[in-house]
Amino acid sequence: MPQVLAAFLQEAREKIEQHLPEYIEGLNAPTVLKEAMTYSLKAGGKRLRPILVLATLKSYGKPLSLGYQAAAAIEMIHTYSLVHDDLPAMDDDDLRRGKPTNHKVYGEAMAILAGDGLLTYSFQLLASANMLSTDMKLELIRRISQAAGPAGMVGGQVKDMLGEGRELDAEQLQQIHHHKTGELLSVSVEAGAIIAAVPEKEKIALREFGKQLGIAFQIKDDILDVEGDVRELGKPVGSDEVNNKSTYPKLLGLAGAKEKLLSHIAEAKKCLYKTSMDHTLLIELTDYIGTRTK
């Protein structure tokens, strides 16, 4: 990993890990609810969405601290979606990232409420981000709620459910992924751009960057499930095959999927060159997403 990127990721992750639980601790809410919310927030993962918020800010020369609330809010929305997705009525998963899922620890009722709590609180956090202007906060809420709601992530979950067990083509697969995961990734970049107060034209380019990055991220995920290293990934490989899931390697072949990955990585970078930012960091991050081994 290039040094600029490595240094940035370390700084960004430290700030994210520090602030996420802090925002919950201060809440005047039942202890067990705060515990359940924090449990899944702390379960970690790549923190890709908050990193994209902060990386975009950094690329426009703005202080990272302006983006902490937006980064945390988006990570809370991502986390709530995983908590609800793991429920017995949905994917019925007992483990996530090697740890028992929320409902396995706190019970189903509490997991539903912890998800509801994270989602609702994310908007309170956005509305209370004191270092941002009223207009910025409102634009963040408008765009994030759209990306996360029925026309975005929630709609994508529904499409994914409806597509299960059916033969999908590459176009349909991409549509589902775009709504289910791509829109929240894309709005993470856009959130950084909103806070950096960039012109509308650049926001459009960055929205497209986020879209391309999201597709690339998913293709790489599918490829790693075929040829990744179990020890590096920390999860079993070949599970898509076992679960008979529609994936890019299955639809396009492994070579075809790799080619598609490269083309979306290239498209993503092109979008960055249309902006006035210092591209170094996001170019490195994009390349890293295409070449990561975990």
The reply on whether position 115 binds a second copy by CB under 8 A is yes
- Give every CB contact of residue 81 below 8 A, 6+ residues apart in sequence: 115, 148, 153, 157
Nearer to a second copy, 4 or 161 (CB): 161
Binding of a second copy at residue 201 (CB under 8 A)? no
Give the contacts of 172 (CB within 8 A, at least 6 positions apart). Answer: 163
Cβ–Cβ < 8 Å for 184, 221? no
Shortest CB 122 distance to a second copy, Å: 8
The only residue of 17, 43, 60, 87 in contact with a second copy, by rule CB under 8 A: 87
Q: Fill in the amino acid letter for 248.
A: Y
Closest approach of a second copy to the CB of residue 177, in Å:
15
135 near a second copy, rule: CB under 8 A: yes
* SS3 assignment, position 151: coil
Structure tokens at 67: 């983006």
Instruction: Identify which of residues 122 and 286 has a Cβ nearer to a second copy in the complex.
Output: 122
Please choose, from the candidates 19, 24, 22, the residue with its C-alpha nearest in 3D space to the C-alpha of residue 68.
19
Q: If binding is defined by CB under 8 A, does position 27 make contact with a second copy?
A: yes
| Residues 281 and 58: beta-carbon distance below 8 Å | yes
User: Which CB, 177 or 260, lies closer to a second copy?
Assistant: 177
CB of 238 to a second copy, least distance (A): 26
By CB under 8 A, tell whether 60 contacts a second copy.
no
Q: Which amino acid is at 83?
A: V
Contact 69, 129 (CB under 8 A): yes
Which residues of this chain interact with a second copy, rule CB under 8 A? Answer: 24, 27-30, 32-34, 37, 80-81, 84, 87-90, 103, 107-110, 112-113, 115-117, 119-121, 123-124, 126-128, 134-135, 137-138, 141-142, 145-146, 148-151, 154-155, 157-159, 161-162
